[in-house]
Amino acid sequence: MSRLIVAIDGPAGAGKSTVARRVANRLGLLFLDTGAMYRAITWKAMQQGLPLDDEEAMARLARESRIELIPGENGDRVLIDGQDVTDAIRTPEVTRNVSQVSAHAGVREVLVERQRELSKEEGVVAEGRDIGTVVFPQAPVKIFLVASPMERARRRAKDLEAKGHPVDLDELAAEIARRDAYDSNRAVSPLKAAPDAVHVDTDPMTADQVVERILEIAHARTRA
């Protein structure tokens, strides 16, 4: 399965990163966290005080930045220009702004090309919002994860609180709903399922069960 591409899409908090990482490990493939790449650009723009609504400035920043996704025994590390920003890009502040930055066509053009480059030498399990529709439309395995807004809010709250960021559950649910609307209605690469994607409702499932379901789908698609 060295050149297999598994595309996992879905809204914020659906569990994409967690299960994609585990699926990649089980299949012996590279895990490609595309969301981390957009978060890294957002973090850098905020650090530099750049206007996040300026598409030209954001695209230039993306072109000039070096993003590295480094696998490790204790989790993947995210570096931008050599600086480890693994934890910094997961703060509520970055989360609130990443949809705006990732909506810029110029930013997406730069990062999609880099994502495709990473898949040329080996297979990948990639997660995001436009993986099966834009980044890897030819992927033989396409998954679209869904979960209720409140369940996604509970999961995100648990992750944030574990990192020392207390949150209000209702506010977080409202923020997730706003991100859903923004991501689904943006002009460039909106969040949507590919026509041939398999929908997996993660509400009643544990992460391990979701992983097993995706592996079942992957094996079935690759045998076909």
Give the pLDDT of residue 217.
Answer: 96
Residues 139 and 124: their CA atoms lie apart, in Å, by 10
Residue type, 165: H
- Residue 112 banded pLDDT, cuts 50, 70, 90: very high
166 contacts: CB under 8 Å, gap ≥ 6: 160
pLDDT higher for 187 or 74? 187
Q: Span 81-104, mean pLDDT?
A: 95
Average pLDDT estimate for 129-142: 95
> Model confidence over 55-72: pLDDT tens digits?
999 999 999 999 999 987
Q: What is the pLDDT of residue 2?
A: 52
Query: What's the confidence (pLDDT) of residue 136?
Result: 96
The per-residue pLDDT of the chain, averaged, comes to 92
Residue 109: burial class (beta carbons within 10 Å; 0-12, 13-18, 19+): middle
Structure tokens given for 1 = 């399965």
pLDDT-derived band at 122 (thresholds 50, 70, 90) equals confident
Other CB atoms within a 10 A radius of the CB of residue 98 amount to: 24
How would residue 224 be classed by pLDDT, with cut points 50, 70 and 90?
A: low
Look at residue 207 and tell me whether its pLDDT is greater than 70.
yes
Beta strand segments in 10-112, E: 30-33, 67-70, 77-80, 83-84
Output the six-digit token pair for 173.
């649910």
Task: Band the pLDDT of 1: cuts 50, 70, 90.
Answer: very low
C-alpha closest to that of 5 among 196, 109, 185, 142? 142
Per DSSP, which regions of 28-123 are E strands? 30-33, 67-70, 77-80, 83-84
Beta pairing partners, 67: 80
> What is the C-alpha separation between 42 and 63, in angstroms, rounded?
13
Has residue 182 got a pLDDT over 60? yes
Per-residue pLDDT, averaged over 76-92, amounts to 95
C-alpha dihedral, 166 to 171 to 175 to 178, nearest 10°: 180
pLDDT exceeds 50 at position 47:
yes
SS3 assignment, position 95: helix
* Token pair for 210: 């979701």
Q: Among 84-98, 148-162, 193-207, name the one with the lowest average pLDDT.
A: 148-162
Confidence class of residue 121 from pLDDT cuts 50, 70 and 90? confident
